[in-house]
Structure 1
């Protein structure tokens, strides 16, 4: 019973966060509005099945789904498995296959906070070209690398447009998962020099391309890349639900030629690019 007020508060928060009325949520879960009201006030105790139904109706991510169960006095049902665990061997094989297929173009796998988990050789070559080689096992956060003033920003010609879009995507993540960790990531990114001013500024140019490329420039070399982001279908593990696979593709033939030249070890390709 002592945990019930926490569940009631969490339920109210998620319903309002999703922009639903009590009537809307009651209809989704096929219960009466009166019963839902009692649950939100802590005057009724939910069953385990009811917590599950409400979490599904509210589209609560697996991590927060577990938190709802715990707040109602039940054991969590969704596990969080380390990506290196033996039971995820087939998943790792699939990730490695996808990243290998992306060669010679960059591809990475990240978690929900943009911490780098895996990368292909194309991604390593791009990073080494832009910022130099990294020490083995150096932790990399792609969000910080993109938004901070001293990593990728000096080489990203259209940084304002790219970071404006990226910050909006992090804001969407924070709205979806409702966790302090994602909110903290958003605040950290907003705290970097010039970010808030950039968000309030108008786009630097009209949208004439079908997608917004990332236009890198270093020396006399220009690279224009667009990205795709994939997720695993029907995940039943927190780690896998929060996994993202981002692939970078050339926006023009010149970029494609440079990336292919790097992978083939074309004489002078790297030195000319630098």
Structure 2
């Protein structure tokens, strides 16, 4: 008879995670202990691996550190506990109401582009406007289904982004911030290494510049032949949730900066409808 796998063992790794998070939030050990209502001595022992925190203590520490759900699960596992928050695939029956809500938001954004992406910038859903506009800009549409790869790969959408250095630089700042906010996520670091390996990426982008925060409003300019489109974007996220997938979903809606872009978007949408009738 096959035995069940042993429960996760307590590890000093939780101490490393806590120190990383304290550093990112600029909290001293005493500050964190006071805000979480735990003994400073006990917290010190947890960080050095001499003591195992209770599940309740881990939860309180995560609350004070304002950790995303994925990172809360990682902290619980490092402390020897089962994760609290589930991660449900967007294509499951459980997520059907969420998909309907997302479809409604995307459809409402037409004739202007909108899409849903996860924490790794993988596109999960799009509206018809985005597909139509990207096909007009690039024959066959984007090569990648990942926004960062689309922007950084010279064989994808990169040559069509007229203000590429501004747009790509802003994305890199966001990616550095995501990595700082999720220090245990190796996949984010791998994604950063990948996009930095594309040709002609400024060497200075390899290091995070804390003083250089992402721009409050960024205009993306697409240019293909005589066609030029100017957009700014807004990001929408779900409110309080107990599912990792929902916690990490972002809806990007692109709005025309000027009347010319708005008119051209409407024309592209009309032509796409005619082509399908």
TM-score normalised to structure 2 length: 0.87
Matches within 5 A, 1:1-274: 3-134=10-141, 140-178=145-183, 179-197=185-203, 199=205, 211-265=217-271
What is the rounded CA distance, in whole Å, between the counterparts of 2:204 and 2:46 in structure 1?
43
Q: Does the 8 Å contact 1:112/1:243 carry over to 2?
A: yes
What's the CA shift for 1:246? Answer: 0.4
2:243 & 2:263 partners in 1: Cα distance? 39
**Structure 1 Cα separation of the partners of residues 129 and 162 of structure 2:** 21
CA distance in 1, matches of 2:269, 2:138: 18
Distance change in 2, residues 1:214/1:50 (3 Å): same
State the Cα RMSD in Å.
2.4
Q: Which runs of 4+ in 1 moved over 3 A?
A: 197-200, 266-269
Q: State whether residues 122 and 263 of structure 1, in contact with CA within 8 Å, keep that contact through their aligned partners in structure 2.
A: yes
Segments of structure 2 that go 5 or more residues without pairing to the other structure are: 1-7, 207-215
Q: TM-score scaled by structure 1?
A: 0.88
Q: CA deviation at 1:6?
A: 2.2
Tell me the secondary structure at the aligned position of residue 202 of structure 2: helix
Mapped partners of 1:217, 1:87: distance in 2:
41
Distance 1:126 1:32, change over 3 A: same
State the alpha-carbon separation in 1 of the partners of residues 17 and 218 from structure 2: 38
Per-residue CA distance 1:92-118 (angstroms, 9 max, x = gap) = 111001001000100000010111100
1:106-165: CA deviations, max 9, x gaps?
000001011110000001012111222259xx8611111011222112111111111111
> How has the CA–CA distance of structure 1 residues 155 and 2 changed in structure 2, closer, same or farther, with 3 Å as cutoff?
closer
- Does 126-135 or 228-237 show the bigger shift? 126-135
> Quick one: structure 1 residues 38 and 267, their matched pair in 2 at CA, closer, same or farther if it must change by over 3 Å?
closer
Q: Tell me if the contact between 1:164 and 1:198 (Cα under 8 Å) persists in the aligned partners.
A: no
- Alpha-carbon offset, residue 256 of structure 1: 0.5
Q: Structure 1 unaligned runs (5+)?
A: 201-209, 270-274
Match of 1:205 in 2: none
- C-alpha separation in 2, matches of 1:241 and 1:250: 28
SS in 1 for 2:12: helix
State the distance in 1 between where 2:205 and 2:144 align: 27
Matched residue count: 259
